[in-house]
Structure 1
């Protein structure tokens, strides 16, 4: 009798899990339909910003579509360009920006981006990644381990690192419930793990979800681009402002680094 009861219970649990998986899959497909297919590319913002004497400060940006600036109206409106412009103003120096981010990238893809970034010997590297780890159900412990290795590699090569943690994916309105609630929880947990990883490896971390989530929740029509998934120009401005104090602190902590000839990112081939 007990074995029959146990068997029926197991079957019921299995059926419930299958049904739940089916619901979540259907919701994911519906979310993709609402968001639509990507028809734009990220603006190209690499180059030199500001004016001033001395060796140019080299700023590298790595990560996913958020780091690349998909959804921004112009190159000047991308997160990297805003940071480079502000850092140039604060430092009185030129800033050479090289963006190596790839749309759709996961944490596992950082290593290839670092291969390219190291050609420019960045003084400061900003990483924004994690959203695609969440949507692809990558275990956060694995994501955090990969992130630690990436940050360690940058640090070992002389770069100060600022980690922009995974945004709060619960703010993406086209994703229906309960999938949106699940994404919110998973993205928040990953953000915490990312912050721990960055600090452990000697980097800095900014919890973007905690800082910006409420504003994205309250003003989605302003903070999101037309696809309702990626940040708008206003969204990227808010993200850059949240990151700027840590980027400035990282530059000051790192000092000048090795005095090398300035490298224009546009001249570096992949």
Structure 2
């Protein structure tokens, strides 16, 4: 089954319950599960827990005229900044500083992310944030890794994320979600667990994208953002537990998220305005499940809702636009399953991409 179909199925099941990661674990069989369990225990011993806290990055960043933008940060240890030594090194702080530099307005960060959080914790985190910020301008979410490592049912994870996005959107806030990172890039995790974690995390990321876009938010694929750098310079990109990013790693994640946050806010900057997709960069318009399947293949890829011919939905679901805002090599414009832009009048829309999204 292609990743687009799996993402669509997981997101659809989220509305009704059932299915998900538990079924995938059961399919391994008793022997396979025993191997995976042993490898997971070994990974935990290797990774260890040399620290259990993150810097407090709540506060105002930048300076200038006008009321501060209100940035709310939700999620797990990656959103909390576990592994960073200083508040200014977290993703929230870096994004806030970037927005302030582009606008000349201060940005106030309210971070309610919690180390070890799962998607089921997001609604409570948002409620806590709203005690201090009545109307956030943008809500930044980073979540998913613990849902995978704790073997949480993917449909349940996606349902909690979608509810949180819908609530934030109902308040008028823009929402940007950094989807589940590719856990197959974590060095202390050995095979065959590494390959299985990669598939689970990528499938969850694709399903998260479907749910978030359906709810009116936009996603940025974090995927294997730190993978190549980990192999080349693990002491720089990862913190001392070899699992969480270092300050340099968080800066790289923030660089991938910042353009999408700016686009959501309508802030001027290089490649930060909503624009027509460019096929030479592998961008296009198509059903959201197709865009989700494509996005997990390249970190930094944004997927956001769009319309085709004035309609938000087509025969295969919600229309979405896939953009690669991060500077990268020019992608091949081969058969991605996504059109370069809205189909012309009378066309049948993007081709069925299910055959091109399997992995």
Same fold (TM over 0.5): yes
Q: Does the 8 Å contact 2:176/2:219 carry over to 1?
A: yes
Q: Does the 8 Å contact 1:52/1:92 carry over to 2?
A: yes
Unaligned runs of 5+ in 2: 1-25, 268-359
| Structure 1 residues 126 and 241, CA gap change in structure 2 (3 angstroms) | same
- Matched with 1:105 is 117
Higher relative contact order (CA 8 A, sep 6+): 1
Q: 1:136 aligns with which of 128, 134, 150?
A: 150
User: How far apart in 1 are the matches of 2:184 and 2:143?
Assistant: 16
- Matched with 2:73 is 61
Q: How many residues are treated as equivalent by the alignment?
A: 239
- Matched with 2:198 is 184
Q: Does the 8 Å contact 2:142/2:178 carry over to 1?
A: yes
User: How far apart in 2 are the matches of 1:214 and 1:39?
Assistant: 25
User: How far apart in 1 are the matches of 2:173 and 2:137?
Assistant: 5
Q: Does the 8 Å contact 2:75/2:142 carry over to 1?
A: yes
Q: 1:33 aligns with which of 22, 45, 48?
A: 45
Unaligned runs of 5+ in 1: 1-13, 254-270
TM-score, normalised by the number of residues in structure 2? 0.64
> Secondary structure of the equivalent of 1:61?
strand
Q: Which has the higher Rg, Structure 1 or Structure 2?
A: 1
User: How far apart in 1 are the matches of 2:46 and 2:206?
Assistant: 29
Q: Does the 8 Å contact 1:144/1:193 carry over to 2?
A: yes
- Matched with 1:197 is 211
TM-score, normalised by the number of residues in structure 1? 0.84
Which range moved further: 37-46 or 57-66? 37-46
Q: 1:83 aligns with which of 95, 114, 139?
A: 95
Q: Does the 8 Å contact 2:75/2:112 carry over to 1?
A: yes
User: Is 1:227 equivalent to 2:217 in the alignment?
Assistant: no
Q: Does the 8 Å contact 1:167/1:213 carry over to 2?
A: no
The C-alpha deviation readout for 1:226-268, integer Å capped at 9, x for no partner, is: 1000011111000000000011111128xxxxxxxxxxxxxxx
Between Structure 1 and Structure 2, which shows a larger proportion of helix residues? 1
